[in-house]
């Protein structure tokens, strides 16, 4: 069992922070469906941005299960320290430092995974944040700047000495972004070199893959990112398999529909009737694509799903989006009945 300060995490299957994805509705859903820990999408360290609508939403943790973990992005140690204090004052129980994001707009300001190229600055940031708050500080990073410069091991040792309580490592370099395959050797090396929990991230898309990565790396936990988009029940599937060695059955169409509807209702309440439907489009697309893939649907049904997505993307009303989904689910149910 992993402990973060006074918090004992219930399992070792975590939600990765993803900008534009792991908002409060999604985090709450993933926790309800078996995730043992969730980190918020990254929040800006720049105080000029703290009171914008976007930042206010990212700092909204109402109804979330402890521990509430907030990820910060920035490249100025003093600013990062102040942002950490600001968030702890507003309920954050863990502060996570983003040294893993490969996005150009983040790296171009020397933040995210760009920090791995400046080890001295990275450590100054860690030291400043650890000194600023009395909650656990964690770091999410990559293997290095590119495949020839893998410095995660050196940074991990230094960060542990500086007071970091847990590390999450994506098995790709900054240069790799999300291309190619994740490698786990670097993560295994870090696990063998530090005494704090190390979390493995990258290309974990099934219960079997999670078990393989844990065995390959010796990591304390796994962190799931893109594989949870449209498939939030992956957390309970992995947790169940790790505990029992048995696979859970896939969700029924009825549960699929109920989960999607619950997610959307919470989503609309969070974002409002104007922004909610627009922001929901990507989630709906992920759900529908995932369902079609899992059911190996016929070409005619795939075409209908594509048409539904197009209509949803034109829809700006929560009620209309839900009505379209209800009609789609009813049609999918009728197809299942006919097949049986």
Residue with tokens 């909650």: 135
Residue with tokens 């299960």: 65
Could you tell me how far CA 6 lies from the centroid of its own chain? Answer: 23
Q: Which two tokens stand for residue 153?
A: 């091991």
Catalytic residue among 101, 107, 176, 315: 101
- Let me know how many helices (H) and strands (E) the chain has, helices first: 12, 11
Task: Give 27's contacts (C-beta < 8 A, 6+ positions apart).
Answer: 15, 38, 40, 64
Calculate ∠ Cα 92-94-96, nearest 5°. Answer: 110
Nearest-angstrom CA–CA distance, 28 and 63: 8
Q: Is the dihedral of CA 36, 229, 84, 114 positive or negative?
A: positive
Helix-strand-coil percent breakdown of the chain, rounded to 5? 55, 15, 35
Task: Give 64's contacts (C-beta < 8 A, 6+ positions apart).
Answer: 24, 27, 28, 31, 38
Nearest-angstrom CA–CA distance, 100 and 324: 38
Count, residues in the chain:
340
Residue 247, number of CB atoms within 10 A of its CB: 12
Q: Is 30 a catalytic residue?
A: no
Could you tell me how far CA 98 lies from the centroid of its own chain? Answer: 12
> What DSSP string describes 172-184?
S-TTTTT-S----
Nearest-angstrom CA–CA distance, 308 and 301: 10
Q: Find out whether 126 and 164 touch, Cβ atoms under 8 Å.
A: yes
Which residues does the annotation mark as catalytic? 101
């Amino acid at each position: 069992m992993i402990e973060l300060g006074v918090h004992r995490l219930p399992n070792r299957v975590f939600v990765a922070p993803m900008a534009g994805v792991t908002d409060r509705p999604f985090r709450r859903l993933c926790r309800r469906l078996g995730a043992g820990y969730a980190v918020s999408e990254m929040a800006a360290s720049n105080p000029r941005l703290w009171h914008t609508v976007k930042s206010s939403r990212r700092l909204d943790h109402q109804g979330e299960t402890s521990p509430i973990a907030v990820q910060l992005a920035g490249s100025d140690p003093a600013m990062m320290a102040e942002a950490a204090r600001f968030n702890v004052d507003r309920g954050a129980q863990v502060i996570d430092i983003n040294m893993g994001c490969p996005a150009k707009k983040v790296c171009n300001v020397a933040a995210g995974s760009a920090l791995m190229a400046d080890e001295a600055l990275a450590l100054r940031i860690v030291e400043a944040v650890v000194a600023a708050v009395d909650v656990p500080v964690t770091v999410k990073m990559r293997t290095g700047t590119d495949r020839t410069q893998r410095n995660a091991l050196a940074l991990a040792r230094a960060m542990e000495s500086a007071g970091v309580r847990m590390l999450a490592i994506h098995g790709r370099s900054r240069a790799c972004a999300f291309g190619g395959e994740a490698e786990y050797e670097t993560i295994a090396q870090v696990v063998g070199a530090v005494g704090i929990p190390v979390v493995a991230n990258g290309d974990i898309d099934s219960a079997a893959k999670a078990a393989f990565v844990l065995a390959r790396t010796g990591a304390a936990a796994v962190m799931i990112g893109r594989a949870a988009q449209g498939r939030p029940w992956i957390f309970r599937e992995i947790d169940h398999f790790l505990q029992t060695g048995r696979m859970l059955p896939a969700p029924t169409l009825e549960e699929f529909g109920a989960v999607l509807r619950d997610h959307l209702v919470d989503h609309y309440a969070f974002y409002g009737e104007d922004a909610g439907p627009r922001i929901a489009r990507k989630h709906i697309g992920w759900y529908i694509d995932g369902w079609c893939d899992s059911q190996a649907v016929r070409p005619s049904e795939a075409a209908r799903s594509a048409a539904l997505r197009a209509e949803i993307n034109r829809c700006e009303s929560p009620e209309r989006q839900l009505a379209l989904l209800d009609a789609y689910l009813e049609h999918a149910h009728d197809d299942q009945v006919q097949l049986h």
